[in-house]
A and B are shown apart, each in its own frame.
Chain A
Amino acid sequence: MNCIVCLKQVPDTETQIKIAQDGMSVVTDNIKWVMNPYDEYAVEEALRLREKFGGEVTVVGVGPKRVTESIRTALAMGADKGILVDDPSAAGSDSLGIARILAAVIKDLDYQLILCGKQGVDDDYGVVGSVLAELLGIPQISVVVKLEVSEDGATIKAHREVEGGTLVIESPLPALVTAQKGLNEPRYASLPGIMKAKKKPLDVKTVADLGLDAAQVGEGGAKIKVLKLSPPAEREAGKMVDGETPEEKAANLAKLLREEAKVI
């Protein structure tokens, strides 16, 4: 069973986000770049499926050279090979553009399952997976917390998180699933894994290599245009609730919530 994992590199979740002078981008100096946390679950699930069914795990990323590090991390976890599309014309792509690039990479590969993180924790779109599935003409199941593959490897049953419950969905393969936290506990790369990863194949391609027209990707091909970035509204400093004892504080708080905030 061959799995493909789509991987994004994002700022670590502990990062303070500062908006650049141009008001259109974030300051990227001193950012610690990591594999998108949801993509870690996707990599881990692919590795577990390979352990059970055999086959290969291919990791595909789009972005500048630094993304190589995150692909190497996936290879160190155990993935077999990586593909990076590194092309300045891809910069500024929206979800549609990124999905077009991924589809162009993946369409000629032999695969049964594509795994993506449920969203990038930077732009928070969560759209690339479903656009990619549509472009490839395969079914999608998103926000998956449990995945079972039938013994014959022909169908999957996925549990997806919905408001107030879990939906169990069955799909034939090939299919695309997006990973939610809880799907598994991703492994750490071992030292031998890190050494081995250095020798694993990592192809770097350009948009032209994929037979894509540069006008279809990047800023030119984007349907969504960013007008500006802004910081969140500052919350006004609140008040500390007085009281000598916990009971007094609780009584004062209850009163404030009822009479001033009117929320209980």
Chain B
Amino acid sequence: MAQGIWIVAEQREGELRKISYELVSEGRRLADQLGQPLTALLLGSNIKEKASDLGKYGADKVIVADDERLATYTTDAYAAVIAELAQAHEPAIILLGASVQGKDLSGRLAAKLGAGVAQDCVEFSIDNGSLVAKRPIYAGKAYATVTYKDSVPQIATARPNVLELNEPDESRSAEVVDASFSLDDSQLKTKVVELQQEAGGKIDLTEAERIVSGGRGMKGPENYNILEELADLIEATVGASRSAVDAGWRPHSDQVGQTGKVVSPNLYIACGISGAIQHLAGMSTSKVIVAINKDPEAPIFQKADYGVVGDLFDVVPALTEQIRKLT
């Protein structure tokens, strides 16, 4: 019978990504509820030394698949290796990150294993031995609580920045084992040609702790520098509303909302954003929301923890100045 919880750790260029620790932390809680072991899968090249970190966050065992062809994520290689390992070990649950990588991998893996997958979940529990997952639908305008039927394993992806991180326990260590797998070159059809990093190496909106976002009230692309100044000071990433993106002021990768990114930072500062429903859907799980807007009737104020009625061109630079004084 299928047993145990697996999490698929995520690395880029040999460094574990934060979602990996979030997955181990959640996996630990679920494993304790089930009374079953927690195993982390780590795929990469020369990656074994990272295994001990996963142990400190709660993994009982780390299975390391070390191969040059796994250095950079490709759907073909990762799905083939994880499916082979899952068939050999039969875990009951596999959790992945709802990152770009995890969302690409989950469906492929589910299809290979004939299993169900719940994508982009924000809450997990165990009921009667089965995984129960809560996930936003309509970009967060509603939530669906789902479970699995005749699904071995039960696959789910977890939204980054939502699950609680465990404190690493330096005294904990995981058993580290080498994976045995057969990866045939004929299975590898796609090839990564290059990774173009964004200038400045800024943190992606989906992973950002803080976001400063600008909408139609910014009046033009040239004014985003006042948001960037504030963002630099508080280590935030700059986002935008759909109207700002559709106007061509900001790249589409900056868009927050139903047809953009769904974000959950600790702090979301909305500047000159009225709060269209499709925007609110994408950011209303932020922990603290600040709205700065001229229009006291703007719907964004209904969602904001702190509202400032005023001209963002006065308030934002003043806020930057005040925060600079505090630090």
Residues of A within 8 A of B (CB): 11, 13-17, 19, 26, 37-38, 94-96, 99, 121-131, 133-135, 139-143, 145, 157, 159-172, 175, 180-182, 222-232, 235, 237-241, 246-247, 249-251, 253-258, 261, 263-264
Contact A17 B141 (CB under 8 A): yes
Contact A124 B137 (CB under 8 A): yes
Contact B111 A261 (CB under 8 A): no
Partner of B143, one of A131, A171, A229: A229
For B117, what are the chain A residues with a Cβ–Cβ distance below 8 Å?
A: 95, 125, 127, 223-224
For A37, what are the chain B residues with a Cβ–Cβ distance below 8 Å?
A: 259
Contact B319 A172 (CB under 8 A): no
Given the known A-B contacts A160-B100, A163-B100, are A129 and B107 also in contact in the complex, defined by CB atoms under 8 Å?
yes
| Complex interface residues of chain B between 127 and 169 (CB less than 8 A to chain A) | 132, 135-151
A-B contact count (CB 8 A): 277
Question: CB-CB contacts of B16-58 with A at 8 A, as 1s and 0s?
Answer: 0000000000000000000000000000000000000000000
Partner of A235, one of B266, B267, B289: B289
Contact A13 B326 (CB under 8 A): no
9 smallest CB-CB distances across A and B, nearest first, come from A223-B116, A130-B107, A250-B318, A134-B111, A246-B314, A163-B204, A127-B107, A182-B252, A254-B322
Q: In whole angstroms, how far apart are the Cα atoms of A60 and B124 in the complex? A: 34
For A165, what are the chain B residues with a Cβ–Cβ distance below 8 Å?
A: 195-198
For A172, what are the chain B residues with a Cβ–Cβ distance below 8 Å?
A: 189
Contact B305 A261 (CB under 8 A): yes
Closest A residue, CB atoms, query B255: A181
Q: Chain B at the A interface: mostly helix, strand, loop or mixed?
A: mixed
Contact B287 A263 (CB under 8 A): yes
For B190, what are the chain A residues with a Cβ–Cβ distance below 8 Å?
A: 139, 141, 169-171, 175
For B260, what are the chain A residues with a Cβ–Cβ distance below 8 Å?
A: 181
Partner of A223, one of B138, B151, B259: B151
Contact A250 B147 (CB under 8 A): no
For B253, what are the chain A residues with a Cβ–Cβ distance below 8 Å?
A: 145, 161, 182
Partner of B142, one of A19, A141, A145, A169: A19
Query: Besides the contacts A125-B117, A250-B315, what 6 more A-B pairs have beta carbons closer than 8 Å?
Result: A126-B107, A134-B112, A168-B195, A253-B319, A254-B325, A256-B306
Q: In whole angstroms, how far apart are the Cα atoms of A182 and B290 in the complex? A: 28
B288 to chain A, nearest CB (A): 5
